[in-house]
Amino acid sequence: MGIAKSGIALQLSKKTLRTYLWLVVFLLAAHGTPAQEKGLQEKNGAEAVRFAARVESLLGAAPVNKGEWGLLVVDAESGVTLYQQNADDYFLPASNMKLLTTALALDTLGPDYRFRTTIETNGTLGAGGKLTGDLILVGRGDPNLSNRKFPFETKEEFDGAPEKVLAEMADAVAASGVKEIAGDVVGDDSYFPRERYPDGWEIDDMVWEYGAAISALVVNDNTVTLTLTPGEKAGDAAQETLEPDTPEFSVRTAVTTCRQSEKGDLRLTREPGTNAVVVSGTLPAKSDPRKLTLAVQEPAQHAALLLAEVLSRRGIKIDGNVRAIHDPDPNESTRTVLVEHLSIPLKDSVKLVNKISQNLHTEVLLRTAARQQGRWETPEDLQKFPAAFYAKVGIREGDVIQTDGSGLSRHDLVTPRAFVALLQYAQIQPWFPAYLASLPVAGEDGTLNERMKTPPLAGKIQAKTGSLTHVRALSGYAETPGGRKLIFSFLSNNQGAKNHEVHEAIDGLCLAMVEEFDEKRETTK
C-alpha cells in the first residue's frame, strides 16, 4: 500500500511541476521592479499560471500526452511572452510551413503581382494562316491556369472545363489568324530549374493531388480527375471518365458494383514515375460517383497535350509533335509573343493557398519569389534563398530548416518561436491585410470551417493548420472576448492519437488561451 501511495504522489508532482515553475518564474521576475511593471508582471504571471494548469490538464491526458508539444503565446501589441513550452525546440511543421512561404512571396513580389503566361513562336505566320515554326506555351509559375473561380469566399468554386484558361488562349491563337502549325506544340517550363519533387516527399505523395509534380507550367493543379460511377445493380461494371482526358494518362479499371447495403472498397495501383493507373474493387449500387484526383508526372508535356487538343477543336491543324522543354532556349529572345495571359493578383492566389492548404501552389510561390534574383542551379541553392527574409523578419539563425515551401517534406524543422516572430513581423507590413485574409477563420472557412464553431472561438481564431502523419499544428492570430490580440504557435509531433483527438486538444488550448489571457476577465474580477 505504501508503494502505491508513493507512486501516486510522484505522478501528481510531475503533473503540477510545470505549473509551480511558472509561478516561481513570474514571482522572481516581479521582484525588485517598479510598481507599475511589477503589477503587469504579476497579472501576466497569474494568467500564465492559470493557463499552464489548463495546458497540463489538456496535454497530460491520454492519448495526446504521448506526443511532443511546442507552445508559444505572446501579446500581439507589446510582444510580451505570455506562455511558452518547448518554444525553441524543432518540430515538423507540416503545412504551417505555408505561413513562411506565403509571407515571403507577399514581401518579395507584393500583393498585386501577376503571373504572366504566354504562347509564343520561333517561326513566322504566313498570309494563309500557316505558322512555320513551333507554337510554345511558356509558363512562369501561374498556379491558377484552371477553371477555379476567384476571389475565394468561403469555399472553392469552379466554372467550366479544367482547361478553361488554355481554351481561352487557344481562342486568341485562332483569332490571330493561325490555321496550321508547321512545327511542334511545346510546353516550356524552363522558368524554374527542373525539380519535380523536393527532398523529403514520400513516394505515396506523388500519386495524389497533394503531391503533384512542381513545374513552372501548372494547368488544373497538374492533375486529372478519375470519376467512377457504380451501376444500378450488383454485378454491373462501374463506368469511368477522366477529366481532362489526355493520351498520356492510361487508366484501367476493374471496379464492379456490389449490393447497395454493402460497403465499397477501392484499390489504386500506380507504379512510380508512370501515368499508368489500375483501379479495382467495388462500389455500392446507386451510390454517388467516386472522384479520385490524380497527379500527372510531366506537367509541361501534359499542358502541351491539352493545348494541342483545344487547338485541334478550333480547326487548327498541327503538323508536328507535342513535346516539352525544361532547359532555357538560347534563342528565346527571338521568339514572337502571340498571346499573353495575366493571372489574378497574388493576394487572391495566397488566399486560396492558405485557406485550402494547397501544396503545389505554395511551391511555385517560393520559386517565383526566388526567380526574381535569377535562376538557381541546385535545390540546395533554392533552400538558401529564404534565409535573408527570415533574418529580416527576426527569426533566429537555425530556427528554420527548410527543404520545401509547403511543409509536405518530412525534412522541414521549425521552432514555435520562428512562427511567432514571423507573425509579429507580418502584422506591421503593408501586405498584412492580404496575409491575414488568407488565413482560415475558426468555424467559418478553409481548413477551420468545421472546428471551433461556437463562441468565444468562432470567428476569433485566424490561423494556419498543419497536418501530416503523426503531426498536427496551428499557428496564427487570436482575439479574446475583451478584444486583446494574441499571436500563438501550437505544434505537436509524434502523435499516435487519432486526428480528432489531437484537434480537440489544440482547440482546447485555443479556448484556454482566449479565456485566461483576456484582459476583460482581469478588469472585471
Catalytic residues: 95, 98, 357
Are 188 and 331 in contact by the 8 Å Cβ rule? The answer is no
CA 317 and chain centroid, separation: 40
What is the rounded distance in angstroms from the CA atom of residue 104 to the CA atom of residue 106? 6
* Cell 507550367, residue located: 217
* Cell 457504380, residue located: 230
The neighbouring-strand residues paired with 376 are none
Q: Which of 500, 510, 476 is nearest to 95 (CA)?
A: 476
Cell numbers given for 112: 498585386
Question: What is the three-class DSSP state of 507?
Answer: helix
The neighbouring-strand residues paired with 479 are 485
The neighbouring-strand residues paired with 187 are 137, 324
Tally of CA atoms within 13 A in the half-sphere of 411 that contains its CB: 11
Strand pairing category for 471-479 and 485-493 = antiparallel
- Number of C-beta neighbours around residue 419 at 10 A: 32
CA distances from 373 to 22, 349, 355, 376, 388 (A): 46, 21, 28, 9, 12
For the chain, the distance separating the N- and C-terminal CA atoms, rounded to the nearest angstrom, is: 44
* Cell 512561404, residue located: 101
What is the maximum alpha-carbon separation in the chain? 102
Are 272 and 204 in contact by the 8 Å Cβ rule? The answer is no
